[in-house]
Every structure is written in C-alpha cells, then in structure tokens.
Chain A
Amino acid sequence: MTNCPTLIVTVGLPARGKTYISKKLTRYLNWIGVPTKEFNVGQYRRECVKIYKSFEFFRPDNEEGLKIRKQCASAALNDVRQYLTEEGGQVAVFDATNTTRERRETIMRFADQNGFKVFFVESVCEDPDVIAENIVQVKLGSPDYRHCNTEQAVEDFMKRIKCYENSYEPLDEVLDRELSFIKIIDVGRRYLVNRVLDHIQSRIVYYLMNIHITPRSIYLCRHGESDLNVKGRIGGDSGLSSRGKAFACCLAKFIHAQDIPDLKVWTSQMKRTIQTAEALGVPYEQWKALNEIDAGVCEELMYEEIQQRHPLEFALRDQDKYRYRYPKGESYEDLVQRLEPVIMELERQENILVICHQAVMRCLLAYFLDKTAEELPYLKCPLHTVLKLTPVAYGCKVESIFLKVEAVNTHRERPEVRNTHTHTGYCSCEFPRPVCAPRCHYMVRACVMEHNGERSSLQPNFLLRNKPSQEMARLVFLHAQDA
C-alpha cells in the first residue's frame, strides 16, 4: 500500500534510542512485506574516520569534523536514493541525530527533489537512568570504545552528548507544523503526532506506540507431538500422542522452574496447543490467528501423498515456499498477515509463552530474529523444544531448550534439485502490475503453452494464485486441471 517511497528520519540526541527504533522498525516493516533498509550515518563516519579518538571530533567548532560528518550524511543520502529508486526499496530509515533545523532542511530538499515522502521520528528523553542504561547496553560495546574501559567510555560519551546539546533544535509544534512527525517522549510515556499522511505512516505510528523496552522474555514452542504428527500427516486438528502429553508435563515443570513473574500463556484454537497448555495449570488465552497454516486440499495428507496426487502443487511449493498458497489454503505470506495483530500484542506484553505450530512459529521467529522471506519457511522449529527470546541491545538473544521427550521430526529441508513436472510450458504473458503487490492474484491476459513441441493458446483471463517469480514468468507450469 505504498506509492512514493518514504524516508523516515530519526531526530534526537545521542543515546535516545534512535538506532534501537530504526532497527526495530526496519525489522517490522520488512516482516510485513514492506522492503525497508536503515542507513546509519555513524557507520559511514566509522568507515571514513577509521579510528575514533575522543568526543572532540563532535565539538561544534571542529570544522574538520563537521566537514567529514556532512560528507557522511551526503554519502548516506546517496545510498538512500539508490535504494529507493533503483533497488526496489519502499522505506529508508535515515538514522542520525539530525538535531539541527538546517540538517533537516537539507534532507527535506533531497527528498523533495527525488519525490520521497518524509516522516520524522524524534526521541526526546531526559531521564538520566534511561540514558545511562542505553549507554551500558549499546555504547560500551560500540567500535568507538573498543579500547576504553567502562568509566572512560561513559565519560567520553557524556561529553559527546554535550556537544550536540547546544545546537539541538527539537521539532516544534508551531515552527514544524507542516511536517509529518512523531515525537516520542520519555520512552513512550507521551507522543506528539503531527500530520500523518498515509497508510504506511499510520502503521508506523501505531507500531512505535506499542513497543516498549521493559525487560522481559518471550517463550515460543510448538504443541506436543500430535497423533497426526506420528502418522506423518500435515495439518488437521488431532490431539496429543502419549509423547506429546509427556512433553506437556515437562513444559509445565520447565515453566514452573523458570519462575516467571506474571507470565501470560497463549495458544491457538486447535486441540493440540490447548491440550499442551492445559498441563500448565495456569489460565491461557486462545487466538484463532495462531492456528496452523491451512493446507487446503492437502490437509491431513502425507508429503508422499501430496507428491502423488498434486505433483504440480508439490513442485510449485518447493520453488517459492514463502509465497506458495495451497489450493483452498494459505501461504506463509498469508500467515504473516494474519499474525500481525499477534505480533503487535506481543510487543505490548511482557513475559509470555506462545504455544503454537510449526509454520506459525517460523513466522514469529522470523520476526524476532529478522529472517528474510527466503529463510523463513526453512527455519528449524522442532517439536518439544522451547525457544527463549530475550531482547538485548539491538536484537534478541535466543536460547534453545530441548525438553528431553523424543518426537518425530517434521522438518523438510530446502530441496537441492527443483522438482520438474512433465508438462512444461512457457508464457509470454503480460502480468499487469498489481496495485497491491504482492498479495494478489495475477491476471494472465494472454497465454501460450508449448507442449511436446506444439503450441496452443490458453484461455485468457486466467488467474494465477501466486506471484510469478522471474523464473516462473518464463517457465510457467500450466496444467489443464488447474486452469
């Protein structure tokens, strides 16, 4: 739902969480399917000035320093332009202090010239505890302070902040009333939101207003082994096998031992997750959105049966497992869309255990660990294993705990050799540019199929369920029954 690319510009003194916000927002936007990239000007500066000496570099009267910093900003903007105009990016996050009106005006001129929308995200914070914690979490480990001890680093960094303070011009309600921005005050206690222009900015604001930095842990696991798992069948709504029940008991013991304050427990609305949660003996909430991916016509089949009865579908799925949608079912891409409210609420919550399913867990994990759509469907989420995620610095620490109850392996690796189907065809189609990529049908207007050397044209207005990848555009599998 985006037309012109958007440039998100962070604003704020050092140690106000700008990079944290940039990275998190970028991760979220990519996960929901909006190609986003962050451009951290500090990194450009570290490329340019190989060795950081001290805060003196940032003194406002250090002309040499200022020149370099301005060049770095320009270099970063150049890369932004390339990303948004040539590399298919939709959102660029320009992560720097951008504390002067002059710098922001430069950015706006740049955006104007290139037809980008600008949305500012300012973080304002005067709580010394929060700033101190920031410094401990992310600054001490910065390449800039590799050779310093903690005290030296903290002292230098505080002086660095001082260098910015005098020339800091926060976004102003009156002077900047024509700009689009959100001001985040005191880590989310208060927000000022001005002139949200479009859908993506509205989603960004909603997301930023729901995240928090209170320490907490997220536990992800699948239901215990189910009867259908044991039979090697996918989907369905069966109960736990005896090993699955054993796992549920072990899970209860594990959770109890972890001694987690105010733990919330979520399950799907399928028997196997509910039965698993029941063993914990604590209240749990059920989300339909956490139900396993709907395999449509392949529900309750074994992979061998699918290969036999739906060989074309089987092959197509291996070609693009993320976007492939089961007939009358769902794709991983659909799953991500239906899991978005779950992620939003996970961000709001604190300690939480989510008991779900293989495909669902892959989607959630991909969000927390910033995995691409390519990697997502192949993430390893074995049965009877709990993943404990703890947010730390700019990312997430993962601990994997196998609860020592054996179970079948339901994981299928990415296939080495693509399955080919006997009916091959090529397509000289014009795929109309969908207005709302990538989640739609593709209307094939004219199609020619070549089979055994013979060409025949197919009925136009044929709907393809999946977005054609480059390869598919040249080599479309068209089976008469699927038309």
Chain B
Amino acid sequence: MKDVSPKSFLASVPQFTNSPTMIVLVGLPARGKTYISKKLTRYLNWIGVPTKVFNVGQYRREAVRSYSNFEFFRPDNEEAMKIRKACALSALKDVSAYFTQDHGQVAVFDATNTTRERREVILSFAKEYGYKVFFVESICDDPEIIAENIKQVKLSSPDYVNCDKDEAVADFLKRIECYKVTYVPLDDDCDRNLSYIKIFNVGSRYLVNRVQDHIQSRIVYYLMNIHVTPRTIYLCRHGESDLNLLGRIGGDSGLSSRGNKFAAALGKYIRSQCIPDLKIWTSHMKRTIQTAEAVGVPYEQWKALNEIDAGVCEEMTYEEIQEHYPEEFALRDQDKYRYRYPKGESYEDLVHRLEPVIMELERQENVLVVCHQAVMRCLLAYFLDKSADELPYLKCPLHTVLKLTPVAYGCKVESVFLNVEAVNTHRDRPVVSVNTHAQTHTETGLW
C-alpha cells in the first residue's frame, strides 16, 4: 500500500471548483458594482479561491487618457462605442489568460453590462472556453444611496481629478442617464436559464436564479450577508499572558499582571469610544475571557477564535522547538501559511475555521474581537486584503487595538497602543531558510 500519510501542506477542505467561473456584474453606474466586485474578490481569495477583478472602466481609462465629460457615454457616440467595446473584449482576453496561464479560478468582470447584447457577447465567450457564468445585478432606485455612492467613490475617481464637486456630480448624473436609455435588466422570463442573483436596494431583497454549484452557493450566501451600514471593527489580542512571559507558545494560561493592566486599559478605552451597541467576542481560552471580563459588558465566546493549535509544540519555547523538532522548524519557515504542526493546525486551517466568524462579522455592526496572534493575523488579512504569503508575518503586537473602518472600497486602519508594556511575540520572515537544519536567528521573539 503506498504511503498515504497526509502531507503537511494539505488544504483542509476539498477545492470544489472545476471549470473556472466568470462573475459578471450588471447595473447602472453608482449601484455598487465595483464595491461588490472588490469585496467578493477579497473574500474568495481569503478562503483560498484564486480570484481577480477585471474592471472595464480601468481599461477605458488606459485607452482614453483623459476623460472630458459624459458625452463619451452617449449611446449615439459611435466612436466612443467602438472604444468601449474594444475595452470589454480586451478585458475578456485577459480573463482567458488569467484562467489558462495564471491558474485563476474566478474572474469578476466588473462593468455595467446593461444591454442584453453585451451579455450575449460574454456568454458566447464563456461558452466557447467552457467557463461558467454567474451574473450579479445590483438594482437601486434610492436617490440617497446613489448620492452617497457618488460622494464616496466617484468624486475621487481619476475621471474627475480636475473638477469641482458640483460639476463632477452633475456630469456623473448625466452619465447615468446615458445608460438608462438602453438598460435591460436581467429578466425573470427571458433570462430564466441563466444563473444569477439580483440585489435590490443594497440587500433588502434578492432574487436568486439557478445556482449551479458550490462556489456559486457560497457567493450567494456571502452577498446576502454583507451590508453597507457604517460601523467599526476593533481587533486586539488578549492581554499579556503568563506563558507569553515565559516565552512559550500556545497553552491556556491566564493574564500576567501587565496583561491585567491592559485589560483595565482596554475597558477604559472602549468606554471612551462611546460605541453604540458594541458586541464583544472572545475565544474559549482563559486569556481572552479574562481580558473581556475587564471591559464589563456581556461578551460571546467562539471556539473558532481559539489560537492556532501548535500540536506537539504546544507550550514549548522557541529554543525547545528548534532543539526537539529542527526539521519541522525549518519546514515552517519555508511555507508558514500552509505548514501544519504535527497534530496541530496550519494558518490555512485557521482561515477555514474562521470563515463563519468572518461571515458573522459581515452581518454585524460594531464589534470588538479579543483574540490571539495567529487568529488576528488571519482576520486582518481578510479586512486588508493581504495575501497568504504576507498573512503569517502581519504585525499584531500585544496591548495594541486595531480600529478598522470600512471606507470607499477598503478599510481604514488606526493602530492604538494602550500604553502598557508587553513582551514582543513577533517573528519576522527569516531572510535565509534553505537548509533542513534551522538557521540560528538573533530575534528573541516567538512564533
């Protein structure tokens, strides 16, 4: 019987994608298509599905160096129509290259795609190459939402870099009118054989048609859980723990005296922020629970927020690991994201177990998550769109709160150190890591 011991670098879930999938956005300008595209792409990449956005507007900006005004988008502007079609085809070509050469699995085709004709072009293209197509249409007639969109992301667009605010808004509204004339929304009857989700008014209603497979089902679930209500997410680790002080990883120890001080400082900080309806989440480990206790409001415990399981290396010091498991030590440095501790977990496993936490974080509004170093790195990577390569080396020091505020297409981050000293548990990416025996490092930090 052949040796079938699971490799240390095995993903924890089967990859349920075979044919590549094209996600095709549909909708008038300022309906949140690019917001959805970027967010969805970030989520899919985080859960391990290689995904890329192809924004046709960007292709257009490459082709037509300076944007004059909305007249470019008039449906009777033949010259412009030619350019716009060429841009779409160019983007489709890149989609194909992404799938075949770059091993992409999902391509998000971000454009208005408001005519049946344009969608037919995309469908024929996909059929020719054997790609699945899933449409995401955003329909919104709430003038306030549209105005807010324009303010958040259009005014700062390269198209309006030399305009004053009112000019920009006026021009953009005329641009929208150009599209309205020829807009044919996905139709329940004519398009009944297509796979799509229609999102109405930022999520108050959804129409879902013919979900074909696992990835489309996950996409639908995700899109149905995100919202645009302004809110803030606070991430921090537990206060310094007794094991932290001893330089040992993992375990389930309580807070050191400095850790307790941090907990008190955290309580003060949170109260000073005056956050309405703040939810607090911790893991099931003593150190996060003790930290949350000091804040003095009810908190919820998630086992999924427990620190990465270091298996046989639990409660060891850095030196002990190097001594007892030199090969494992070296392997980890080679691919810290996929490396799984014997009888333990990898960062990749962590991401999988944190997925329900992320889904619920998307549903929630103001939340404080008190967690652990590896866990916080995974959550941060999701919010800040960090790659699997960067994730295990993100800096998440003790006694520092990260305040994340969604803004435009991303997240604003403020780092707040609460002025209570703690040990440093961060290990930088090693510069050289080729031999099977670990190099000695001068860093005294931990895992």
Contact = CB atoms under 8 A, between A and B. Distances in A.
B418 interface: no
A274 B224 contact: no
Interface string B200-211: 000011111111
A206 B1 contact: no
B290 interface: yes
Given A245-B1, A286-B10, A441 B349 contact: no
B409 interface: no
Contacts of A266: 14
B190 interface: no
B1 A196 contact: no
Contact of A194 (B14, B204, B300, B301): B204
A481 B188 CA distance: 65
Contacts of A202: 224-225, 363
B13 interface: yes
Interface stretch (A68-76, A388-396, A431-439): A431-439
A3 B210 CA distance: 33
Most chain B CB within a 10 A radius of its CB, from A199, A288, A348 = A288
Interface in A250-302: 266, 269-271, 274-275, 278, 285-289, 299
Category for how many chain B residues contact A: 35 or more
Contacts of A435: 298-300
A209 B220 contact: yes
Contacts of A341: 13
Contacts of B360: 1, 199
Nearest to B342: A237
A192 B217 contact: no
Given A192-B207, A195-B205, A440 B284 contact: yes
Interface string A174-216: 0001000000000001111111100100100110011000000
A443 B207 contact: no
Interface residues of A, number: 50
B207 A206 contact: no
B205 A173 contact: yes
B217 A210 contact: yes
Given A199-B360, A271-B5, A193 B301 contact: no
A1 B363 CA distance: 12
A436 B301 CA distance: 7
A190 B16 contact: no
B1 A271 contact: no
Interface string B336-349: 00000001000001
Nearest to B304: A337
Interface in B352-367: 352-353, 360, 363
A269 B342 CA distance: 13
A439 B301 contact: yes
A345 B205 contact: no
Contact of A288 (B224, B302, B349): B349
A256 to B, nearest CB: 19
Interface in A217-253: 237, 239-240, 245
A338 interface: yes
A348 to B, nearest CB: 6
Given A288-B349, A289-B12, A192 B214 contact: no
B296 interface: no
B4 interface: yes
Given A199-B360, A285-B14, A463-B289, A274 B209 contact: no
Contact of B207 (A1, A191, A434, A436): A191
B249 to A, nearest CB: 14
B82 interface: no
B271 interface: no
A193 B299 contact: no
Contacts of B220: 209
Contact of B303 (A270, A337, A443): A337
Contacts of B300: 1, 435-436, 440
A461 B207 contact: no
Contacts of A461: 290, 293
B221 interface: yes
A278 B208 contact: no
A271 B1 CA distance: 12
A318 interface: no
A334 interface: yes
Contacts of B10: 269, 286, 288
A334 B224 CA distance: 26
Contacts of A173: 205
Given A193-B205, A463-B289, A345 B6 contact: no
20 contacts: A177-B205, A191-B208, A192-B205, A193-B224, A194-B205, A194-B206, A202-B363, A210-B217, A266-B14, A271-B4, A286-B6, A286-B10, A289-B12, A299-B343, A345-B214, A435-B298, A435-B299, A439-B301, A439-B303, A440-B301
Given A190-B192, A434-B301, A436-B300, 7 more contacts: A1-B300, A189-B209, A193-B224, A271-B4, A274-B6, A338-B353, A440-B301
9 tightest A-B CB contacts, nearest first: A288-B12, A285-B14, A440-B301, A436-B300, A193-B206, A191-B208, A269-B6, A274-B4, A190-B209
